[in-house]
Amino acid sequence: MKATLLVLAAGLGSRFGGDKQISHVGPNGELLMEYSIHDAIEAGFKKVVFVLKQEMVETVKSTVGEKFKDRVELCYCVQDYSSVPSFYKVPDERTKPFGTVHAVLCGKDCLSDPFATINADDYYGTECFKLMYDFLENLKDKSEAAMVTYILKNTVSENGGVTRGICTVENGKLVRVDETGGIEPKNGEIVSANGTVNPDAEVSMNFWGFHPDTLKRMNKYFEDFLKEIKPDELKAECLLPVMINDFLSTNELTVYAAPSHDKWFGITYKADKEDVENKLKALHREGVYPDKL
Protein backbone atom coordinates (compact mmCIF):
# COMPACT_ATOMS: atom_id res chain seq x y z
CA MET A 1 0.00 0.00 0.00
CA LYS A 2 1.24 3.45 -0.94
CA ALA A 3 -0.68 5.41 1.69
CA THR A 4 -1.38 8.89 0.29
CA LEU A 5 -1.85 12.23 2.00
CA LEU A 6 -4.21 14.57 0.13
CA VAL A 7 -3.55 18.19 1.14
CA LEU A 8 -6.55 20.46 0.52
CA ALA A 9 -5.13 23.93 -0.09
CA ALA A 10 -7.35 25.67 -2.63
CA GLY A 11 -9.70 27.60 -0.34
CA LEU A 12 -10.11 31.36 -0.69
CA GLY A 13 -9.00 32.23 2.86
CA SER A 14 -11.60 35.00 2.95
CA ARG A 15 -11.68 35.34 6.76
CA PHE A 16 -7.88 35.41 6.85
CA GLY A 17 -7.71 37.93 4.03
CA GLY A 18 -5.34 36.01 1.76
CA ASP A 19 -3.67 32.69 1.04
CA LYS A 20 -3.22 31.39 4.59
CA GLN A 21 -2.19 27.99 3.17
CA ILE A 22 1.18 29.47 2.12
CA SER A 23 1.66 31.75 5.11
CA HIS A 24 5.08 31.29 6.75
CA VAL A 25 4.54 30.30 10.38
CA GLY A 26 7.42 28.01 11.41
CA PRO A 27 10.64 29.34 13.01
CA ASN A 28 12.48 28.82 9.70
CA GLY A 29 9.62 30.07 7.55
CA GLU A 30 7.85 26.71 7.31
CA LEU A 31 4.27 26.49 6.04
CA LEU A 32 1.79 24.78 8.32
CA MET A 33 1.24 21.96 5.82
CA GLU A 34 4.94 21.04 6.06
CA TYR A 35 4.41 19.75 9.60
CA SER A 36 1.58 17.47 8.49
CA ILE A 37 3.68 16.17 5.61
CA HIS A 38 6.64 15.54 7.93
CA ASP A 39 4.41 13.69 10.43
CA ALA A 40 2.72 11.68 7.69
CA ILE A 41 6.06 10.53 6.29
CA GLU A 42 7.16 9.50 9.79
CA ALA A 43 3.95 7.46 10.09
CA GLY A 44 4.60 5.60 6.81
CA PHE A 45 2.84 7.64 4.12
CA LYS A 46 4.59 7.33 0.75
CA LYS A 47 2.83 9.92 -1.41
CA VAL A 48 1.53 13.48 -1.06
CA VAL A 49 -1.03 15.01 -3.41
CA PHE A 50 -1.64 18.77 -3.30
CA VAL A 51 -4.91 20.35 -4.44
CA LEU A 52 -4.11 24.02 -5.03
CA LYS A 53 -5.25 27.20 -6.70
CA GLN A 54 -3.37 27.63 -9.97
CA GLU A 55 -1.46 30.65 -8.70
CA MET A 56 -0.12 28.63 -5.74
CA VAL A 57 1.40 25.74 -7.68
CA GLU A 58 4.84 27.21 -8.37
CA THR A 59 5.16 28.56 -4.83
CA VAL A 60 4.35 25.19 -3.27
CA LYS A 61 6.63 23.34 -5.71
CA SER A 62 9.58 25.64 -4.99
CA THR A 63 9.17 25.57 -1.21
CA VAL A 64 7.41 22.46 0.09
CA GLY A 65 8.16 20.39 -3.00
CA GLU A 66 11.89 21.08 -2.94
CA LYS A 67 12.08 20.18 0.73
CA PHE A 68 10.27 16.83 0.48
CA LYS A 69 10.89 15.64 -3.10
CA ASP A 70 13.54 13.12 -2.04
CA ARG A 71 11.48 11.75 0.85
CA VAL A 72 8.07 11.14 -0.69
CA GLU A 73 6.32 10.99 -4.07
CA LEU A 74 4.64 14.31 -4.90
CA CYS A 75 1.71 15.18 -7.18
CA TYR A 76 0.24 18.64 -7.87
CA CYS A 77 -3.39 19.22 -8.86
CA VAL A 78 -5.49 22.34 -9.37
CA GLN A 79 -9.02 23.01 -8.15
CA ASP A 80 -10.80 25.28 -10.61
CA TYR A 81 -13.98 25.33 -12.65
CA SER A 82 -12.43 23.45 -15.60
CA SER A 83 -13.07 20.13 -13.82
CA VAL A 84 -16.76 20.83 -13.18
CA PRO A 85 -18.94 18.46 -15.29
CA SER A 86 -19.91 19.94 -18.65
CA PHE A 87 -23.66 19.65 -17.99
CA TYR A 88 -23.35 22.40 -15.34
CA LYS A 89 -22.80 26.04 -16.30
CA VAL A 90 -20.90 27.90 -13.59
CA PRO A 91 -22.62 31.27 -12.96
CA ASP A 92 -20.50 34.20 -14.14
CA GLU A 93 -20.83 35.83 -10.71
CA ARG A 94 -19.44 32.85 -8.79
CA THR A 95 -15.92 33.17 -7.33
CA LYS A 96 -16.01 30.55 -4.55
CA PRO A 97 -14.69 26.99 -5.10
CA PHE A 98 -17.22 24.15 -4.95
CA GLY A 99 -16.00 22.72 -1.65
CA THR A 100 -14.00 19.83 -0.30
CA VAL A 101 -15.75 16.99 -2.19
CA HIS A 102 -14.87 18.72 -5.46
CA ALA A 103 -11.34 19.33 -4.13
CA VAL A 104 -10.84 15.60 -3.57
CA LEU A 105 -12.15 14.85 -7.06
CA CYS A 106 -9.66 17.34 -8.52
CA GLY A 107 -6.92 15.04 -7.19
CA LYS A 108 -8.50 11.76 -8.29
CA ASP A 109 -6.01 11.03 -11.09
CA CYS A 110 -3.28 10.81 -8.44
CA LEU A 111 -5.29 8.71 -5.97
CA SER A 112 -4.83 5.02 -6.73
CA ASP A 113 -4.22 3.88 -3.12
CA PRO A 114 -6.00 4.48 0.19
CA PHE A 115 -5.72 8.17 1.09
CA ALA A 116 -6.30 10.63 3.91
CA THR A 117 -7.49 14.20 3.52
CA ILE A 118 -6.23 17.17 5.55
CA ASN A 119 -6.65 20.94 5.49
CA ALA A 120 -3.43 22.77 4.62
CA ASP A 121 -4.07 25.42 7.28
CA ASP A 122 -4.51 23.05 10.24
CA TYR A 123 -1.94 21.50 12.57
CA TYR A 124 -3.04 18.00 13.52
CA GLY A 125 -0.25 16.63 15.73
CA THR A 126 1.83 13.50 15.31
CA GLU A 127 -0.44 10.80 16.78
CA CYS A 128 -3.25 11.14 14.26
CA PHE A 129 -1.14 10.15 11.25
CA LYS A 130 -0.16 6.87 12.92
CA LEU A 131 -3.82 6.19 13.71
CA MET A 132 -4.86 6.98 10.16
CA TYR A 133 -2.11 4.90 8.57
CA ASP A 134 -3.37 1.85 10.48
CA PHE A 135 -6.93 2.56 9.36
CA LEU A 136 -5.89 2.91 5.70
CA GLU A 137 -4.08 -0.43 5.80
CA ASN A 138 -7.34 -2.14 6.73
CA LEU A 139 -9.97 -0.42 4.56
CA LYS A 140 -11.55 -3.16 2.42
CA ASP A 141 -13.45 -1.20 -0.23
CA LYS A 142 -15.73 1.80 -0.84
CA SER A 143 -18.06 0.67 1.96
CA GLU A 144 -15.47 1.64 4.60
CA ALA A 145 -13.85 4.92 5.57
CA ALA A 146 -12.06 6.31 8.60
CA MET A 147 -11.59 9.49 10.58
CA VAL A 148 -9.64 10.93 13.48
CA THR A 149 -11.62 13.20 15.81
CA TYR A 150 -10.60 16.11 18.03
CA ILE A 151 -12.13 17.62 21.17
CA LEU A 152 -14.19 20.69 20.30
CA LYS A 153 -12.77 22.98 23.01
CA ASN A 154 -9.28 22.35 21.58
CA THR A 155 -10.28 23.51 18.10
CA VAL A 156 -11.92 26.93 18.59
CA SER A 157 -10.44 30.33 17.80
CA GLU A 158 -10.35 33.27 20.20
CA ASN A 159 -10.66 35.54 17.17
CA GLY A 160 -14.05 34.62 15.72
CA GLY A 161 -16.47 31.87 14.83
CA VAL A 162 -15.44 28.63 13.11
CA THR A 163 -17.30 25.74 11.47
CA ARG A 164 -16.86 22.21 12.82
CA GLY A 165 -18.43 18.85 12.09
CA ILE A 166 -19.79 17.72 15.48
CA CYS A 167 -19.62 13.94 15.63
CA THR A 168 -21.59 11.22 17.34
CA VAL A 169 -19.30 8.21 17.81
CA GLU A 170 -20.37 4.85 19.25
CA ASN A 171 -18.16 1.78 19.71
CA GLY A 172 -15.42 3.19 17.51
CA LYS A 173 -17.76 4.03 14.62
CA LEU A 174 -19.13 7.35 13.44
CA VAL A 175 -22.92 7.50 13.72
CA ARG A 176 -23.47 10.99 12.35
CA VAL A 177 -21.69 14.29 11.80
CA ASP A 178 -23.44 17.65 11.96
CA GLU A 179 -21.74 20.57 10.20
CA THR A 180 -22.13 23.46 12.64
CA GLY A 181 -21.16 27.07 12.04
CA GLY A 182 -20.45 30.09 14.24
CA ILE A 183 -18.69 28.10 16.98
CA GLU A 184 -16.70 30.27 19.40
CA PRO A 185 -15.88 30.63 23.11
CA LYS A 186 -18.10 33.11 24.91
CA ASN A 187 -18.54 33.83 28.64
CA GLY A 188 -16.86 30.57 29.64
CA GLU A 189 -18.95 28.44 27.28
CA ILE A 190 -18.69 27.20 23.71
CA VAL A 191 -21.56 28.52 21.63
CA SER A 192 -22.69 28.14 18.04
CA ALA A 193 -25.27 29.82 15.84
CA ASN A 194 -27.79 27.38 17.36
CA GLY A 195 -26.92 27.77 21.06
CA THR A 196 -24.45 26.22 23.50
CA VAL A 197 -22.34 23.24 22.47
CA ASN A 198 -20.69 20.53 24.58
CA PRO A 199 -17.02 21.63 24.83
CA ASP A 200 -15.93 17.98 25.03
CA ALA A 201 -17.80 16.91 21.89
CA GLU A 202 -15.77 15.07 19.27
CA VAL A 203 -15.40 17.01 16.04
CA SER A 204 -14.13 16.46 12.52
CA MET A 205 -11.23 18.54 11.23
CA ASN A 206 -11.52 17.11 7.71
CA PHE A 207 -9.08 14.30 8.56
CA TRP A 208 -10.85 11.54 6.65
CA GLY A 209 -9.53 8.27 5.24
CA PHE A 210 -10.93 6.71 2.05
CA HIS A 211 -10.47 3.69 -0.15
CA PRO A 212 -9.85 4.82 -3.78
CA ASP A 213 -12.98 2.95 -4.90
CA THR A 214 -14.97 5.63 -3.06
CA LEU A 215 -14.06 8.20 -5.72
CA LYS A 216 -16.67 6.97 -8.23
CA ARG A 217 -19.44 7.27 -5.65
CA MET A 218 -18.06 10.66 -4.60
CA ASN A 219 -18.16 11.83 -8.21
CA LYS A 220 -21.84 10.88 -8.53
CA TYR A 221 -22.58 12.67 -5.26
CA PHE A 222 -20.96 15.85 -6.58
CA GLU A 223 -22.89 15.64 -9.84
CA ASP A 224 -26.15 15.24 -7.91
CA PHE A 225 -25.20 18.28 -5.83
CA LEU A 226 -24.71 20.37 -8.98
CA LYS A 227 -28.06 19.24 -10.35
CA GLU A 228 -29.84 20.44 -7.20
CA ILE A 229 -28.29 23.86 -6.51
CA LYS A 230 -30.03 26.95 -7.83
CA PRO A 231 -28.26 29.49 -10.08
CA ASP A 232 -28.38 32.16 -7.36
CA GLU A 233 -26.68 29.93 -4.77
CA LEU A 234 -23.27 31.39 -5.53
CA LYS A 235 -21.62 30.18 -2.32
CA ALA A 236 -23.06 26.66 -2.14
CA GLU A 237 -20.36 24.07 -1.40
CA CYS A 238 -20.25 20.28 -1.57
CA LEU A 239 -18.60 19.36 1.72
CA LEU A 240 -17.01 16.13 2.92
CA PRO A 241 -18.76 16.04 6.35
CA VAL A 242 -22.17 16.54 4.73
CA MET A 243 -21.43 13.81 2.16
CA ILE A 244 -20.27 11.45 4.89
CA ASN A 245 -23.43 12.10 6.89
CA ASP A 246 -25.59 11.41 3.84
CA PHE A 247 -23.76 8.13 3.18
CA LEU A 248 -24.17 7.14 6.84
CA SER A 249 -27.91 7.85 6.71
CA THR A 250 -28.34 5.47 3.77
CA ASN A 251 -26.06 2.81 5.32
CA GLU A 252 -23.71 3.07 2.34
CA LEU A 253 -20.67 3.64 4.52
CA THR A 254 -19.08 2.47 7.74
CA VAL A 255 -16.71 5.06 9.18
CA TYR A 256 -14.20 3.90 11.78
CA ALA A 257 -13.28 6.66 14.22
CA ALA A 258 -10.50 7.18 16.74
CA PRO A 259 -9.83 10.24 18.92
CA SER A 260 -6.56 12.13 18.79
CA HIS A 261 -5.05 13.28 22.08
CA ASP A 262 -3.00 15.96 20.33
CA LYS A 263 -4.12 19.56 20.52
CA TRP A 264 -5.15 20.95 17.17
CA PHE A 265 -4.38 24.51 16.16
CA GLY A 266 -4.75 26.37 12.90
CA ILE A 267 -5.22 29.58 10.98
CA THR A 268 -8.69 30.88 10.36
CA TYR A 269 -8.19 34.58 11.05
CA LYS A 270 -5.18 36.86 10.62
CA ALA A 271 -5.00 37.20 14.40
CA ASP A 272 -4.49 33.40 14.73
CA LYS A 273 -1.08 33.59 13.02
CA GLU A 274 0.96 34.80 16.01
CA ASP A 275 -0.50 32.09 18.26
CA VAL A 276 0.37 29.41 15.69
CA GLU A 277 3.92 30.75 15.36
CA ASN A 278 4.43 30.60 19.14
CA LYS A 279 3.07 27.05 19.40
CA LEU A 280 5.32 25.82 16.60
CA LYS A 281 8.38 27.41 18.23
CA ALA A 282 7.51 25.57 21.44
CA LEU A 283 7.21 22.23 19.60
CA HIS A 284 10.67 22.74 18.11
CA ARG A 285 12.09 23.65 21.53
CA GLU A 286 10.53 20.55 23.08
CA GLY A 287 12.15 18.33 20.46
CA VAL A 288 8.90 17.25 18.78
CA TYR A 289 10.47 18.54 15.57
CA PRO A 290 14.12 18.94 14.53
CA ASP A 291 15.64 22.42 14.19
CA LYS A 292 14.79 22.24 10.50
CA LEU A 293 12.10 19.97 9.04
Domain for residue 232, yes or no?
yes
Q: How many CA atoms lie within 13 A of 286 on its CB side?
A: 7
| Whole-prediction pTM | 0.92
Q: Which domain holds residue 184?
A: 4-285
24 beta partners: 31
Sign of CA dihedral 11, 15, 18, 24: negative
Name the pairing type of β-strands 115-119 and 173-186.
unpaired
pLDDT, tens only, 98-114? 999 999 999 999 999 99
Domain for residue 290, yes or no?
no
pLDDT of residue 16: 35
CA distances from 195 to 17, 164, 227 (A): 28, 14, 33
Q: Read off φ and ψ for residue 177, nearest 5 degrees.
A: -135, 130
Residues of the chain with pLDDT under 70: 11-21
Distance CA 217, CA 155 (A): 30
What's the total number of domains in the chain? 1
CA distance between the termini of the chain: 25
Domain for residue 292, yes or no?
no
Distance CA 40, CA 31 (A): 15
Q: Read off φ and ψ for residue 165, nearest 5 degrees.
A: -90, 105
Domain for residue 293, yes or no?
no
pLDDT of residue 179: 86
CATH number of 137's domain: 3.90.550.10
CA distances from 125 to 48, 59, 151, 198 (A): 17, 24, 13, 23
Nearest by Cα to 114 from 227, 255, 215: 215
Nearest by Cα to 115 from 93, 143, 135: 135
